[in-house]
Amino acid sequence: MPPPTPSARNACQVLVLGAGLAGMRAAWAAKESDPRLDVILVSPHKAPSGSSFANRNNALGIQAPLPHEAEAFMEEALRLAHPGTALPELVRALAEDAPQRLGDLLDLNLTFRREPDGSLSRFPGCFSPAPRAVVFDGLAAAHSAFLARVRSLGVRVLHGYEAMELLKRGGHVCGARLAALRGERSMDLSAGAVIAALGGPAPLFARRICGPGGSGLAYGLLHRAGARLVNTRHLQFFWSRARDRAFVNPGTLPWPDELASLAAARRTHCPLAFDLPDAALDRDLLSRRGADGLVRLPGHEPLALFAHAGNGGALIDAHGRTSIPGLFACGECAGGMHGAQRLGGGMVLSALVFGARAGAAAAQEACGGLPSTSTPAQEPRAPANSASDASFLRSLRRGMDRHGLPGAPHSQGFTAWLKDASQRAASERQRLLALSALLVLGDLS
């Protein structure tokens, strides 16, 4: 029996929220699983954005373990998890699907770095000496290739909106309330299944290197819908020059004898580590921050710690399902495949693996039909980008730079302000931002 045909343009079988690597791959998989399904991909921006398609390096690395490397990959990934949570079945899914997901990228003719003989160049990733990662350049071209693929399959792409609420009926997620990024129009979309590919928490910080365009709303949206979240306190942070955000690995700095022995290990990874011996170097630098958040070392330009990406999100199973019926998650807003630390190139792999798995599973679930909703198709709402929202975000970001970094002093005043804002702020955007920040701080009590 064919799936039901949506009766209006504000309904679909599968709704994908977010158009980074994970969201694109999810929409691709859903439509490819059953071409009869109506799949909508919500893309806040027409241009490439976020860490997927607009990072400052114009390149992405992906862990690509070969079948005989799968066990070593899993051992390394799980060893890095503490004190966070990583589920072996999710890590195994990464290893098992890696060859196929790399094949997807090769089929799109992306520009991979290669050896003189034409084979893929392989590199060690952060936290691992094993050369399992491959790299492709030209992210605008990669964005165009992914967008062309989903459109060729018949996915409807809705630009200029982002989710402000996950709609539920009888405990089942059945759509999303979308806010227009420009103008005063919003809409409610109903769906048989919803896939969250909403990005991560780095936009909550003023000092960030996550690529432009992210909202930072994902944790708040997922928590408010009732999804179980993990590892929300574990972000990747990079030391960089305050002037131009150029990376500076602490392992390359001069250290006194009692810390010098840790420098070689620190040089093997760019992100700060939460639970490795060389984290002592990061703690030392953090203790030297001035009131402006900068570290000033003799003979060096001022350094600062910049937020890059999250390692947590909605806890998913091997098919991308969250703890809430009808809701799937993938990409940087999904958790359980990484712990406190992750292998370099692991996020790109997880975005593709669980994007594909979530898309296929959501398509199967959505064949059951469209839940009915009583929400209007469109109605006027307050502008999404009001001056009040922008002012609130500036204040929140200043507070997160001061109190949201690893080892930062706890501020009861800042936490109290966030808790009050999460309930009584002037707009839903502000309330979600405050809730997301509280989840990063680990303080919802």
DSSP string computed for 375-414: --SEEE---TT-HHHHHHHHHHHHHHHHHSSTTPPP-HHH
CB 363 within 8 A of CB 195: no
The full set of domain ranges for the chain reads 11-232+309-379, 235-308, 384-441
What pLDDT does 336 receive? 98
- 10 Å CB burial of residue 148 (0-12, 13-18, 19+) is exposed
> Do residues 105 and 138 touch, judged by C-beta distance below 8 A?
no
**Residue 232, pLDDT score:** 97
To the nearest 10 degrees (0 to 180), the angle between helices 346-366 and 88-107 is 90
- Report the distance separating Cα 199 and Cα 445, nearest Å: 25
| pLDDT tens-digit series, residues 118-166 | 999 999 999 999 999 999 999 999 999 999 999 999 999 999 999 999 9
Residue 195, both tokens: 């896939």
Q: Quick one: 244 exposed, middle or buried, by C-beta within 10 A (0-12, 13-18, 19+)?
A: exposed
CA distances 55 to 24, 208, 267, Å, are 17, 11, 22
**CATH class as words, domain 11-232+309-379:** alpha beta
Sign of the torsion formed by the C-alpha atoms of 155, 161, 162 and 167: negative
pLDDT at 182: 81
- Per the CB < 8 A criterion, the answer to whether 165 and 155 are in contact is no
Q: What is the DSSP code string of 101-169? A: HHHHHHHTT-EE-B-TTSPBP-EEPTT--SEEEEEEE-HHHHHHHHHHHHHHHT-EEEESEEEEEEEEE
Please give the distance of CA 314 from its chain centroid, rounded to a whole number.
11
For 422, phi then psi, to 5°, come to -65, -20
**Per-residue pLDDT, 95:** 98
Angle between helices 412-424 and 428-441 (to 10 degrees): 140
Confidence (pLDDT) at 2: 42
- Counting as low any pLDDT under 70, the low residues of the chain are 1-9, 183-184, 368-385, 445
Q: Give the whole-angstrom CA distance, residue 354 versus residue 319.
A: 7
Please give the Cα distance from 204 to 435 (Å, whole number).
Answer: 11
DSSP 5: P
Written as six digits, the tokens of 125 are 């990733």
**Nearest-CA neighbor of 179 among 435, 431, 436, 434?**
431
Residues 83-97: tens digit of each pLDDT: 999 999 999 999 999
The encoded tokens of residue 61 equal 């690395």
| Whole-Å CA distances, 98 to 8, 29, 129, 423 | 38, 15, 19, 42
